[in-house]
Amino acid sequence: MKTVFSSQSEVAHRWANQVQEHARSGPMSFTGVYAYSYNTAIGRLHTVNGHTVAVMSDIYYSSTTCKHGVQFARALSHITTLWVKCGIDNVEEALLEYQDRFLDNLICNATSSLNPDFNHALSNLKWFNNLANKLGYKHLELIVDKELIEVGKEYQRFRNKRNKALNAVKDEERRLKEEALAKERQVRIDESLPLWLTGGQRDSVLNYMHPSFIRVKEDRVETTGGASVGLKEANILMDALLAGKKVKGTQINGYTVIGFDRKEGTVKIGCHSISFDQAYSVLRGVK
C-alpha cells in the first residue's frame, strides 16, 4: 500500500477516514489515530460512545505546523472537532476546556456594553450540552440559571435597540461623507474632462465617470476609464450597433463586448460602460 504522497490533503483525508495505518507527505504524517507535524502530535481521533471525535491542538508551534493543522482540519468536515490547549489525548479534558470557554463567553455576552451576541452564546451552550450527552458525559452538561438567561436576553434586546440607533447615526454620517466626496469628485471631473477631451493628460478622477466618455488620439480610441482600442475596430463596432447587429461576445482588441443597454444608452465593453451618444458624436465626427 502506498504510504508516501506528494499531496498533504491526501494524507489528511486518509487519516480522517482511517483507510490505512500510516502515511506521510514531507513533514506531515499520521500513524494510527495520531496526526503529526514533524514529530509533534497535533491531532488525535477518538471513538467515544460509538461516535468519532477529533481533538486538535490549538497551541501555536510554527507557521508550517499551523498549515499542517489546517490541512488535517479540512479533512474533518464530517467529524466533530475540538480545538484545545489542554492536550489531545483526553476527550473529557477537552470538553472541560470548552465548558470554561463557553461559560466565560456567556458571562461576557451578558454583561458587555459593546456588540455582544447573547443568543449565539446560548446556542454554544446548547451545542455543548448535546455533544456532552451524545458522548456519554452528561455530568458535564451546563445548566444555566433561567433568571440569568432572561436578564441576558433582555439586555441583548436593549443593546440591539441602542446599537440600531447608533448605527443609524453612523449610516447618516457615512452617507453625508460619501455625498460630499461625490460632489468633490464631480467638481474635479468637470474641470478635468474638457482638458482630457482636447488632448490633455487623464486625471484618475475620470475613473469615477459613469458612463465613460471616449476621445480619438491618432489611430486609437481612449476612454476616461483608461482603456484603449484601435480606431478602425471602434468604428466597425459602431457600424454593427447602428445596423442593429448582435454584438454581445464579440472582441475588440482583447476586450469582450458585454452588450448594448438601450435604456441606459451605454455600450458595455469589459468593465467599461461607454456613453453611446457621446461615442457616436466623437466617432462620426472623425470617420
Range list of β-strands (E), 13-102:
22-25, 28-31, 34-37, 40-48, 51-57, 80-84
Q: Which pLDDT value is given to residue 45? A: 97
At 149 the pLDDT is 67
Mean pLDDT of 199-211: 92
Segment 133-155 mean pLDDT: 79
Pick from 48-57, 107-116, 139-148, 204-213: least confident: 107-116
Average pLDDT over residues 199-212: 92
144-153: average pLDDT:
69
Domain positions in the chain are: 8-88, 92-144, 209-286
pLDDT band at 145 (very low <50, low <70, confident <90, very high): confident
pLDDT above 50: residue 36: yes
Q: Collapsing DSSP states into helix, strand and coil, what is residue 203?
A: coil
**SS3 sequence of 209-269:** CCCECEEEECCEEEECCCCEEEHHHHHHHHHHHHCCCCCCCCEECCEEEEEEECCCCEEEE
Grid cell for residue 206 = 475620470
- Four-residue CA torsion sign, 135, 138, 139, 141: positive
Residue range 253-267, pLDDT digits in tens? 888 989 888 888 999
Dist CA 112 CA 110 (whole Å): 6
Average confidence (pLDDT) over 53-70: 93
Q: Tell me: pLDDT of 287 over 50.
A: no
Q: Is-contact 265 273, C-beta < 8 A?
A: no
pLDDT-derived band at 116 (thresholds 50, 70, 90) equals: low
CB 68 within 8 A of CB 28: yes
Q: What is the pLDDT of residue 286?
A: 52
